[in-house]
Amino acid sequence: MIEAALFDFDGTLVDTTELIYHSMRHAVREVMGLEPPREVLLANVGQPLPRQMELLVETVADGRPDRERLADRLLEVYVRDNIANHDALIREFPGVVEALSRLQDAGLKVAVVTSKSRASVEMALRAIPSLGGVTDRFVTMEDTAEHKPHPAPLLKGLELLGGVPPERAVYVGDSPHDVAAAHAARMRCIAVSWGAFSEDVLRDAGPEYLVPDVGSAADVILKLREARQAGTGRLA
């Protein structure tokens, strides 16, 4: 039966989309003097920040010989702006604490698997401390050598939860990278449409479920658990 629910952090449990966009836009404007479209700036959310900067430079400055230096500079300016505006722009999605508490009350183990650095997660938990009480473990960028869409972070989360088999876990995330990581780990994936990516983009990534709010994600997980307990392996 389903034993564990793993969740992405940015765009899934905490509303950081406007914070990320603000800092991305500021960094690209200051370092490169460019104003890329919003979808370009957010295209690689869900991957580690240094990798996002490398991919962004490849997109908007392809052919420039100083791409590595640009990526380093973008990262520096982004982090500075992000820290300065963090507490003013970060938001808690409605119903997150209640939804995760329902899962824990049903006996499920709950962990966060994110590409954020541990320092960034700790900063977010200081701004929204209630989230720390409804998760059992955190996997951050520093905990694995490989990152989403590679399955290593998700498998690390299952290891920290006591070695839960992938087929007994579900991953909830808001990006195509989350969907790809879940499938690479041989886990079911619930994509959530309240983050940085549109429903069309998420649907194209091929998640097993696509839901509009965190309460619906919890409903799916609990129904999956009930179906597995009943031996059907399907939603009722």
Residue pLDDT, tens place only, 59-82: 998 777 788 899 999 999 999 999
Q: What is the pLDDT of residue 211?
A: 97
Q: Is the separation of the CB atoms in 205 and 191 below 8 Å?
A: yes
Q: What is the pLDDT of residue 4?
A: 98
* Orientation angle between helical segments 17-32 and 49-60, nearest 10 degrees: 50
Average pLDDT, the chain: 93
Q: Which residue has the higher pLDDT, 111 or 230?
A: 111
DSSP 3-state of 221: helix
Closest CA to 183 of 215, 148, 233: 148
User: CA torsion, points 4, 101, 223, 183, in degrees to nearest 10?
Assistant: -40
Annotated catalytic residue within 8, 10, 15, 143: 8
pLDDT tens string 88-108 = 999 999 999 999 999 999 999
Q: What is the pLDDT of residue 234?
A: 40
Q: Which domains does the chain have, with CATH numbers?
A: 4-16+91-229 (3.40.50.1000), 17-89 (1.10.150)
Q: What is the pLDDT of residue 68?
A: 84
Q: Is the separation of the CB atoms in 165 and 158 below 8 Å?
A: yes
Q: What is the pLDDT of residue 174?
A: 96
pLDDT tens string 115-172 = 999 999 999 999 999 998 899 999 999 999 999 999 999 999 999 999 999 999 999 9
Active site residue 8: yes
Q: What is the pLDDT of residue 233?
A: 41
